[in-house]
């Protein structure tokens, strides 16, 4: 189908590094989209697990537009995909996540030609290879909000998922936000990028009928990394987010939310990188006096109450839990 003003082209950009067990299902979920016209741009980021050969076969058959590069990481792969993407709207997608069939169609209709707003959607988490068991839990940010209000709502417990599959973004805003930061990696390159997207947007439009499925529990995934380099880059991502939000420092809810993000990072980082954890705690304290709620079972809550979260975290790691 040829793109028109009423039927704009959507580009789906997928970086792939050693994702052979999952990329086929991800690609199938894109091809099942009810929206047309659609182009699929896949960037093979130096895969060595058979993904490269499989993707080449799909490109030869005309299923995808394939870009290939030596391994440079997710941000560089997204940049490579964007350099050839032709769509009026961009759907970002990791190689192991899944889109429900009406995801893009509902978001395009919700945006209704706007180039100053982004669309987000409902999301759920599943483990392994059972997307049918995806658990969808409504969040405070599942509604139409101004961008800063959306961030404050997303960070209400120090979490806040800004992963690629959620968004449908006008190409105009992608160009205004600038490239993905190739110096970042670790657990949070998405957060820094999509904060910049939000800061050039006027509105976040929630699309309840759009849903994505986030795959968890993959050994070696970026979200599971605890090596020193990955943790340092994750910390830098949050520090840059704080820098980009500096002009809005009078926003109490935003400061509180970012403080909780730092605190959650500290708890996930300790004791692997104790100095980073302490630096995150210090930054959290300067932003807000709000404290992260204690999460976990009754034993964890009891230990935290009497011995503090640092000792409790050491005990967790000693017992084999990350």
Q: Which helix or strand (DSSP H or E) is residue 292 part of?
A: none
Domain boundary among 177, 205, 222: 222
Number of domains in the chain: 2
User: Residue 244: inside a domain, yes or no?
Assistant: no
User: Residue 4: inside a domain, yes or no?
Assistant: no
- pLDDT at 110 (0 to 100): 96
- pLDDT at 322 (0 to 100): 66
User: Residue 227: inside a domain, yes or no?
Assistant: no
Same domain, 44 and 182: yes
Cβ atoms of 236 and 184 within 8 Å: the answer is yes
Same domain, 132 and 38: yes
Side-chain half-sphere CA neighbours of 251 within 13 A:
19
CATH code: domain of residue 17:
3.90.550.10
Same domain, 157 and 263: no
User: Residue 96: inside a domain, yes or no?
Assistant: yes
159-163 long-range contacts (CB < 8 A, ≥24 apart) are: 159/261, 159/264, 160/191, 160/257, 160/261, 161/123, 161/214, 162/190, 162/191, 162/194, 162/195, 163/94, 163/97, 163/123, 163/190, 163/214
- pLDDT at 157 (0 to 100): 87
- pLDDT at 160 (0 to 100): 85
Same domain, 199 and 288: no
Same domain, 187 and 85: yes
Same domain, 41 and 86: yes
User: Residue 87: inside a domain, yes or no?
Assistant: yes
Cβ atoms of 257 and 160 within 8 Å: the answer is yes
pTM for this one?
0.93
- SS3 assignment, position 243: helix
Which residues, 6+ apart, have CB-to-CB distance to 288 below 8 Å? 252, 255, 256, 258, 259, 260
Same domain, 203 and 264: no
Distance between CA atoms of residues 140 and 143, nearest Å: 7
Same domain, 201 and 162: yes
Which residues, 6+ apart, have CB-to-CB distance to 247 below 8 Å? none
Distance between CA atoms of residues 210 and 189, nearest Å: 24
Distance between CA atoms of residues 30 and 270, nearest Å: 38
Distance between CA atoms of residues 65 and 67, nearest Å: 7
Domain boundary among 171, 205, 222: 222
Same domain, 109 and 192: yes
Same domain, 261 and 193: no
Radius of gyration of the chain (CA): 20
Same domain, 255 and 218: no
Same domain, 186 and 69: yes
81-85 long-range contacts (CB < 8 A, ≥24 apart) are: 81/13, 81/14, 81/15, 81/41, 81/42, 81/43, 82/13, 82/174, 82/179, 84/41, 85/11, 85/13, 85/39, 85/41, 85/171
Ranges of residues in the chain whose predicted pLDDT is under 70:
186-187, 219-226, 322
User: Residue 241: inside a domain, yes or no?
Assistant: no
User: Residue 3: inside a domain, yes or no?
Assistant: no
User: Residue 231: inside a domain, yes or no?
Assistant: no
- pLDDT at 214 (0 to 100): 96
- pLDDT at 302 (0 to 100): 82
Q: Of 236, 233, 97, 222, which is closest to residue 167 (Cα–Cα)?
A: 97
The residue range of the domain holding 264 is: 249-296+304-318
């Amino acid at each position: 189908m040829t793109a028109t003003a009423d039927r704009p082209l959507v580009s789906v950009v997928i970086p792939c590094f050693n994702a052979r067990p999952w990329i086929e299902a991800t690609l199938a979920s894109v091809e099942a989209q009810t929206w047309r016209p659609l182009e699929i741009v896949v960037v093979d980021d130096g895969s060595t697990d058979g993904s490269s050969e499989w993707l080449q076969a799909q490109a030869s058959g005309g299923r995808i537009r394939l870009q290939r590069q030596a391994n440079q990481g997710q941000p560089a792969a997204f940049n490579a995909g964007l350099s050839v993407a032709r769509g009026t709207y961009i759907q970002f997608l990791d190689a192991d996540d899944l889109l429900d069939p009406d995801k893009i169609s509902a978001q395009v209709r919700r945006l209704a030609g706007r180039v100053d707003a982004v669309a987000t959607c409902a999301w759920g988490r599943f483990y392994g290879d059972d997307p049918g068991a995806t658990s969808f839990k409504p969040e405070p940010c599942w509604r139409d909000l101004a961008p800063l209000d959306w961030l404050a709502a997303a960070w209400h417990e120090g979490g806040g998922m800004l992963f690629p599959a959620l968004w449908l973004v006008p190409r105009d805003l992608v160009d205004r936000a600038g490239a993905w930061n190739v110096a970042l990696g670790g657990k949070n390159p998405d957060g820094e990028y999509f904060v910049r997207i939000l800061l050039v947007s006027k509105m976040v439009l929630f699309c309840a009928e759009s849903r994505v499925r986030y795959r968890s529990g993959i050994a070696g995934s970026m979200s599971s990394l605890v090596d020193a380099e990955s943790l340092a880059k994750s910390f830098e991502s949050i520090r840059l987010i704080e820098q980009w939000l500096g002009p809005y420092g009078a926003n109490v809810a935003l400061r509180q939310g970012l403080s909780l993000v730092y605190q959650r990072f500290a708890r996930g980082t300790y004791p692997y990188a104790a100095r980073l954890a302490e630096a995150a705690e210090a930054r959290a304290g300067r932003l807000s006096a709000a404290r992260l709620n204690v999460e976990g079972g009754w034993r964890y809550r009891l230990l935290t109450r009497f011995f503090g979260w640092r000792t409790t975290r050491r005990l967790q790691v000693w017992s084999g839990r990350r």
